């Protein structure tokens, strides 16, 4: 009897420690933690860039003001991270239902040399219809990435071609253009969707 009690207390203690570690991770490094100030994107209202969407329309930061925004950097030749994340985004938008219509969702290329307007149009067509593809001159892509504090670099491959290494997080902004938070690569849907709703709720609060 005494042995069972000791084992029971031990299991409870391990469970309590695990819970504390999880809470600590959530608040510091996990989805509930704040982004380091130096890594936060500036507000959309402070950005200045000119790109073209996959339908040939001129777009810039002002295109995103007025509705919450979800943005992701990548490229159409991306073997895994980009299609995986865009599939995740498509699932999140499905979960939001009609609320998804209230958002801007943009996929911004970091490989404008290959990702033309036509290429972007074909690529985003494989995912949720709410996702817009943006491309443009290399110097303008650099300006966008700088405002978002996103990183990317061109890497040579053994075949003599090249690939791109880039930030894999999804950026969320309120309708006002204020940065809200980021969704990490492969973040579970039960964490990602509430983050998106935070951006949507800020829009509703600002309208009241």
Residue with tokens 């890497």: 155
Q: Note the pLDDT of residue 26.
A: 42
| Phi, psi (degrees; rounded to nearest 5) at 190 | -65, -15
Per-residue model confidence (pLDDT) at position 8: 52
Burial class of residue 20 (count of CB atoms within 10 Å of its CB; 0-12, 13-18, 19+) = exposed
pLDDT number for residue 115: 98
Which residue(s) pair with 156 in the sheet? 162
Q: How far apart are CA 15 and CA 188, in angstroms?
A: 22
147 φψ region: left (φ > 0), alpha (ψ -120 to 50), beta (else): alpha
CA distance 104 to 101: 8
| Among 42, 23, 39, 20, CA closest to 31 | 23
Write down the pLDDT at residue 126: 98
- Taking the model in full, what pTM does it have? 0.80
Q: Given CA atoms 82, 84, 87, 88 in this order, what sign does their dihedral have?
A: negative
CA distance 87 to 81: 10
Distance, CA of 185 to CA of 168 (rounded, Å):
6
Consecutive 10-residue averages of pLDDT for the chain (208 residues): 48 47 40 51 97 98 97 97 97 96 97 98 98 98 97 95 96 97 94 95 58
């Amino acid at each position: 009897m005494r042995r069972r009690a000791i084992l029971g207390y031990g299991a409870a203690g391990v469970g309590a420690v695990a819970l504390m570690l999880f809470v600590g991770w959530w608040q510091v490094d996990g989805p509930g933690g704040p982004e380091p100030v130096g890594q936060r994107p500036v507000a959309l209202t402070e950005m200045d860039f000119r790109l073209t969407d996959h339908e040939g329309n001129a777009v810039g930061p002002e295109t995103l003001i007025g509705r919450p925004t979800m943005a992701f950097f990548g490229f159409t030749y991306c073997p895994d991270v980009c299609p995986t994340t865009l599939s995740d985004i498509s699932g999140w938008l499905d979960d939001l239902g009609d609320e998804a219509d209230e958002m801007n969702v943009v996929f911004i290329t970091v490989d404008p040399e290959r990702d033309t307007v036509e290429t972007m149009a074909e690529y985003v067509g494989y995912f949720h219809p709410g996702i817009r593809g943006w491309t443009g001159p290399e110097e303008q892509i650099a300006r966008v990435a700088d405002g978002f504090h996103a990183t990317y670099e061109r890497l040579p491959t053994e075949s003599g071609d090249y690939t791109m290494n880039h930030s894999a997080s999804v950026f969320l902004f309120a309708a006002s253009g204020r940065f809200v938070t980021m969704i990490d690569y492969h973040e579970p849907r039960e964490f990602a969707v509430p983050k998106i709703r935070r951006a949507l709720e800020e829009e509703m609060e600002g309208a009241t």
